[in-house]
Amino acid sequence: MNQLQERELKSQRMEELRRRRILERKREIARKKKRKKLIRKVLISMLLFFAATATIVLCVLLFDTIIKDASSRKTPVATQVEYTQQNSEDVVEEPIEKKEEQKIIVDDSIEYKDETKEERYASYKKQNPHFSDEEIIWRVNANLDKPKYEYDIPVSGYDDPYIIVNKYYKVPDGYHPPDLKSFDGQLLREETGNAYKKMREDALKQGLNIRVVSGYRSVEYQRGLYNRYLSNDSRENVDRYSARPGYSEHHTGMAMDIFGSQDGLRNFENTPEYPWVRDNCYKYGFIIRYLVETEDITGYESEPWHLRYVGTKVSTEMKEKNIKSFEEYHAKYLQ
């Protein structure tokens, strides 16, 4: 094991320790919230009980008043009821027609709309009325209306930079990308590695140092990594920061994790390399794949150190159109 791998392993262990501490704090906060919630429920139940009791008392008093008032009239209450019943027999009630639920129509002018998904668009729009028609269409096209990890779609286009791998699209167990080569001791596809090499050289001219610490991963390697995280954390939490085997972008050989001038993935955002990479990586065909504002789309928490190669055409268009996630771009222009 070389020094770089040792540092990466040490970084991963420190990360696991940090996550366990965070989990303990979350559990303590959850317990406190649960106690407060229980107290609120008891108070609400007591208020509802007193309100119900008061309502019953008022109804009894009101009914008693009505009876007394009716008995003082010349026409007995019973006679009035009989008269009403007799006259009501002559009235033919008209059938009430059941109103059809208004059909939800999504804008047909949007060019990437798929007519075969009309029902899915309508259902998703009903659940998310705050989304525009454009958002409804691309999100459904990206399968965001489906449960994650329960709608497996085999990926296609293994040999191009536009392959998408996420919590809906997975690679088969035996998948191995072509033309893998070593860069900084990590395997990347040749086009990806050459783009990284150019970006690293330009960063060095600015006095900045970036290096790859994780590139291609086999499905089997990802399975071991995911299971190790799972042994110390809940599946719900692990799924926010680690991909299940077959669903990792690292399988493509076009994704990489990088260090800056300080070791540690979590430290990258605090290095001088980060703002330069954030503002310039698109020039070399890379995007920062997981952002805070895209967590509801990707299902992953922010990872400013995780870059994905998509080619300069796509990365530049995403920059110009202010598209934050590859899911959105892929659903609009590549699918």
pTM of structure: 0.69
| 322 and 227 inside one domain | yes
Total number of residues shown for the chain: 335
Three-class SS of residue 211?
A: strand
Domain identity same for 115 and 204: no
Residue-level pLDDT at 104: 65
Q: Are residues 112 and 160 in the same domain?
A: no
Whether residue 185 is contained in a domain is answered as: yes
Q: Give the distance, in angstroms, between the CA of residue 257 and the centroid of all CA atoms in the same chain.
A: 21
Q: For residues 225 and 232, is the Cβ–Cβ distance under 8 A?
A: no
pLDDT score of 308: 98
Q: What is the pLDDT of residue 65?
A: 67
Question: Which pLDDT score, from 0 to 100, does residue 24 have?
Answer: 73
Question: Looking at residue 122, what is its pLDDT?
Answer: 94
* Number of other CB atoms surrounding residue 160 within 10 Å: 12
330 pLDDT band (50/70/90 cuts)? very high
In a domain? residue 8: no
Which pLDDT belongs to residue 315?
Answer: 97
Q: Which residue has the higher pLDDT, 211 or 175?
A: 211
pLDDT of residue 32: 76
Q: Summarize the confidence of residues 125-145 as an average pLDDT.
A: 95
Is residue 301 over pLDDT 70?
yes
* pLDDT at res. 44: 83
Rounded to whole angstroms, the Cα distance separating 157 from 47 reads: 62
pLDDT in tens, 115-126: 999 999 999 999
Q: Are residues 165 and 304 located together in one domain of the fold?
A: yes
Helix (H, G, I), strand (E, B) or coil at 305: strand
φ/ψ (deg, to 5) at 68: -65, -40
Looking at residue 81, what is its pLDDT?
40
The reply to whether 212 and 303 lie within a common domain is yes
| N-to-C CA span, the chain | 42
320 in a structural domain: yes
Is there a domain that residue 86 lies in? no
Beta bridge partners, 286, equal: 309
pLDDT digits (tens, 9 = 90+) for 268-294: 999 999 999 999 999 999 999 999 999
The answer to whether residue 71 scores a pLDDT higher than 70 is no
pLDDT of 332 over the 90 cut: yes
Residues 212 and 256 in one domain: yes
241 located within any domain:
yes
Same domain assignment for residues 158 and 126: no
Q: How far apart, in whole angstroms, are the C-alpha atoms of residue 262 and residue 305?
A: 12
Residue 240 makes CB contacts below 8 A (sequence gap 6+) with 295, 299, 300, 301
Q: Which CATH number goes with the domain that contains 319? A: 3.30.1380.10
Provide the percentage of residues in the chain whose pLDDT is more than 90: 60
Torsion angle in degrees (nearest 10) through CA of 110, 114, 120, 122: 30
Tell me, yes or no, whether 132 and 153 share the same domain.
Answer: no
pLDDT over 70 percentage in the chain: 83
**pLDDT 10s digits, 83-110:** 444 444 444 444 544 444 445 666 778 8
Query: How many folded domains does the chain comprise?
Result: 3
The residues facing 180 across adjacent strands are: 189
Q: Are residues 191 and 56 in the same domain?
A: no
280 shares a domain with 230: yes
Range of the domain at 48: 24-68
| pLDDT at 14 > cutoff 70 | yes
Residues 284-322 as b/e (b if ≥16 CB within 10 A, e otherwise) read bbbbbbbbeebeebbbbebbbbbbbbbbeebbeebeeee
Q: What is the pLDDT of residue 75?
A: 42
Q: Do 53 and 197 belong together in one domain?
A: no
Per the domain annotation, does 13 fall within a domain? no
Specify if 18 maps to a domain: no
On whether both 135 and 153 belong to a single domain, the answer is no
256 belongs to a structural domain: yes
Q: Which position has the higher pLDDT, 50 or 112?
A: 112
- Mean of the per-residue pLDDT values of the chain: 85
